[in-house]
Chain A
Amino acid sequence: MPAVEVRDVEKRFGRGREDVRALAGVSLAIERGEFFGLLGPNGAGKTTLISALGGLVIPDAGRLAVMGHDVRRDYREARRSVGIVPQEIVFDPFFTVRETLEIQSGYFGLRRNGAWIDELLEKLALTGKARANMRSLSGGMKRRVMVAQALVHRPPVIVLDEPTAGVDVELRQTLWAFIRGLNAAGHTILLTTHYLEEAQQLCSRIAMMKEGRIVALDSTARLLSAFSERVLRVKLDGCDLPAVLGAGAARDDAGWWRIPVQGAAHVENALAELRRAGAAVESLEVAEPELEEVFVKIMHQDAVAESVR
């Protein structure tokens, strides 16, 4: 049984002319213990899908289940199994950090949750702010409280909707260290982010969404090898690229040559060719495959396919 199962889910918002097809038949399964990335441009349907998983959005068709529990029919168990960190920063200005977490525990029927709340506060560097009113916290701190709120009931599935948007570098690293730890302890993580570098480092599998549909779904490694490659980037000083290296190479707007290379031997080979041709190398670097390139290609490819259709 997968941790998250989404089958043929459809959702429209609005009627008439302003009708928006937020989800146009989405299916996917996330296995237990996965660190899964859900990527896509703004308006692709990521947040709608996550909201449907938490029961905030009621789909028009299809079904969703968390740890085997249908989110509609068996909503109590489904909601106990998932912790969602919403994208927007929201908080209740009437309460302190600790009150917020105690109340959130209570909603899940957890009475004596103090030890776990202490641990969450410590791991998220909030211990010093436990008695502070939510209003007095900075944006990044509020975001951390929201993470803690989503985890009070120790859900097996954790969903983070752009958790690092507008968060400083240090906090981002603390957060990721914590989330990686939870993943190592067996929690399934579903992440959406616009920071593709983060997704590449963290996620073992990735789905890309566009206009309410999944346009790519594979392991991060396979997506990288299929759509991106290791390249040697060189900038030459007033001479052209030797013809022997010309095949597959391309020059970008800034004047850098991109030469596809498979391994270290290939790099040495290319450099030897440059030397033999007497080319003056101004600067050079080896660029690893990047998810950003995969993302751009997939989004573009889809647009091409659509225009042909």
Chain B
Amino acid sequence: MSGFATLLYKEVLRFWKVSFQTVAAPVLSALLYLLVFAHALSGHVEAFPGVSYVQFLIPGLAMMSMLQNAFANASSSLIQSKITGNIVFILLPPLAPAEIFLAYLLAAMVRAVVVGFGVFAATAWFVPLPLAHPLWVLAFGIVGSGMLAALGIVAGIQSEKFDQLAGFQNFIVMPLTFLAGVFYSVHSLPPFWQAVSRLNPFFYAVDGFRYGFFGQADIAPAASLAIATAAFAALSCFTLLLLHRGYKLRY
């Protein structure tokens, strides 16, 4: 096994060994959101013609969970290794910056996909969902979770303490995922907030992901994919630069 494959395996094993906390818990949270919001809002909101609010909600909730868990996996793994000091076991071997980047990125994406599947599996038996364009679902699933996985690596590198990481989580990731049109169609917002939503790269991931299921979206899916991919690529380049310089890892 190459160094990269080992680090990827180790990172997957790390979250899998505590999957109750890393997979089951976020699936349960998504179900609770579904229960509460569907009960409170169904009948008040019809986002797309012919799509019930509960149906509308599920892909958004799945994507939100994927985004949050991709971020959580990469960032918490890195900060734990940094704080406990066992990051040296990754820094001393001959691993290239790109290998470290890809291993943390892919492990976070694996967790995101497992959680996403979990949300669909848990809801499939009471809410039937169409699947209009599976390839769009796949593409947005990959780009969305990749974007947050890269952001998670940046946060894990940047943070020196758990509260700094919590700052990232609470002031960047949570607001941006909540305001990404998970619970509503942005067309239901006033023009100003519609414009603000369009500055949020997470919004394109949620909107495009939903297009894959319903064949309808607020933005043309190709445009969403282009924007989300650009954000993913920019974050990836930035992360690679940090790793290459050894920023906050090699002093």
Is A bound to B? yes
Interface residues in chain A, defined as those with a beta carbon under 8 Å from any beta carbon in chain B: 13, 51, 54-58, 75-77, 79-80, 84, 86, 88, 90-95, 103-109, 111, 149, 153
* A149 lies within 8 A of B89 (CB): yes
Given contacts A56-B91, A57-B251, 20 further A-B contacts (CB under 8 A): A13-B251, A55-B250, A56-B251, A58-B251, A75-B94, A79-B94, A84-B92, A90-B89, A94-B14, A104-B89, A106-B2, A106-B3, A106-B7, A106-B9, A106-B10, A107-B3, A107-B6, A107-B95, A108-B93, A111-B1
Residue among A58, A90, A108, A111 making CB contact with B88, cutoff 8 Å: A90
* B250 lies within 8 A of A109 (CB): no
User: What separation, in Å, do the CA atoms of A58 and B13 have in the docked complex?
Assistant: 31
**Chain A positions within 8 Å of B18 at CB level:** 94
Interface size on B, residues (CB 8 A): 28
Interface residues in chain B, defined as those with a beta carbon under 8 Å from any beta carbon in chain A: 1-3, 5-7, 9-10, 13-14, 17-18, 81, 84-86, 88-96, 246, 250-251
A107-B91 in contact given A90-B84, A94-B17 (Cβ < 8 Å):
no
* A56 lies within 8 A of B1 (CB): no
User: What separation, in Å, do the CA atoms of A149 and B17 have in the docked complex?
Assistant: 22
**Chain B positions within 8 Å of A93 at CB level:** 84
User: What separation, in Å, do the CA atoms of A109 and B95 have in the docked complex?
Assistant: 9
**Chain B positions within 8 Å of A77 at CB level:** 94
**Chain A positions within 8 Å of B13 at CB level:** 94-95
User: What separation, in Å, do the CA atoms of A76 and B10 have in the docked complex?
Assistant: 20
A289 to chain B, nearest CB (A): 37
Residue among B7, B85, B89, B92 making CB contact with A55, cutoff 8 Å: B92
Name the CB-closest residue of A to B96. A76
User: What separation, in Å, do the CA atoms of A57 and B249 have in the docked complex?
Assistant: 9
* B251 lies within 8 A of A54 (CB): no
User: What separation, in Å, do the CA atoms of A104 and B92 have in the docked complex?
Assistant: 10
A122 to chain B, nearest CB (A): 22
Name the CB-closest residue of B to A112. B1
Residue pairs across A and B with CB atoms within 8 Å: the count is 79
* B251 lies within 8 A of A106 (CB): no
Sample of 24 A–B contacts (CB below 8 Å): A51-B251, A55-B91, A57-B250, A58-B246, A76-B94, A77-B94, A84-B92, A90-B85, A90-B89, A92-B89, A103-B9, A104-B89, A105-B6, A106-B2, A106-B3, A106-B7, A107-B6, A107-B93, A107-B95, A108-B3, A108-B94, A109-B1, A111-B1, A149-B89
**Chain B positions within 8 Å of A80 at CB level:** 94
**Chain A positions within 8 Å of B84 at CB level:** 90-93
A79-B93 in contact given A91-B86, A94-B13, A103-B6 (Cβ < 8 Å):
yes
Name the CB-closest residue of A to B17. A94
User: What separation, in Å, do the CA atoms of A130 and B93 have in the docked complex?
Assistant: 22
**Chain A positions within 8 Å of B6 at CB level:** 103, 105-107
A81 to chain B, nearest CB (A): 10
User: What separation, in Å, do the CA atoms of A56 and B3 have in the docked complex?
Assistant: 18
Residue among A13, A54, A58, A94 making CB contact with B92, cutoff 8 Å: A54
User: What separation, in Å, do the CA atoms of A137 and B7 have in the docked complex?
Assistant: 24
**Chain B positions within 8 Å of A79 at CB level:** 92-94
**Chain B positions within 8 Å of A13 at CB level:** 251
User: What separation, in Å, do the CA atoms of A90 and B80 have in the docked complex?
Assistant: 12
**Chain B positions within 8 Å of A55 at CB level:** 91-92, 250
Name the CB-closest residue of B to A105. B6
User: What separation, in Å, do the CA atoms of A104 and B91 have in the docked complex?
Assistant: 11
User: What separation, in Å, do the CA atoms of A56 and B246 have in the docked complex?
Assistant: 9
A83 to chain B, nearest CB (A): 8
B150 to chain A, nearest CB (A): 22
Name the CB-closest residue of A to B84. A90
A94 to chain B, nearest CB (A): 5
User: What separation, in Å, do the CA atoms of A153 and B3 have in the docked complex?
Assistant: 12
* B3 lies within 8 A of A109 (CB): yes
In this complex, the member of A79, A86, A106, A111 whose beta carbon has the largest number of chain B beta carbons within 10 angstroms is A106
User: What separation, in Å, do the CA atoms of A86 and B85 have in the docked complex?
Assistant: 10
User: What separation, in Å, do the CA atoms of A57 and B92 have in the docked complex?
Assistant: 11
Residue among A51, A57, A92, A107 making CB contact with B86, cutoff 8 Å: A92
User: What separation, in Å, do the CA atoms of A91 and B1 have in the docked complex?
Assistant: 22
A103-B250 in contact given A56-B91, A90-B86 (Cβ < 8 Å):
no
Residue among B7, B14, B81, B88 making CB contact with A86, cutoff 8 Å: B88
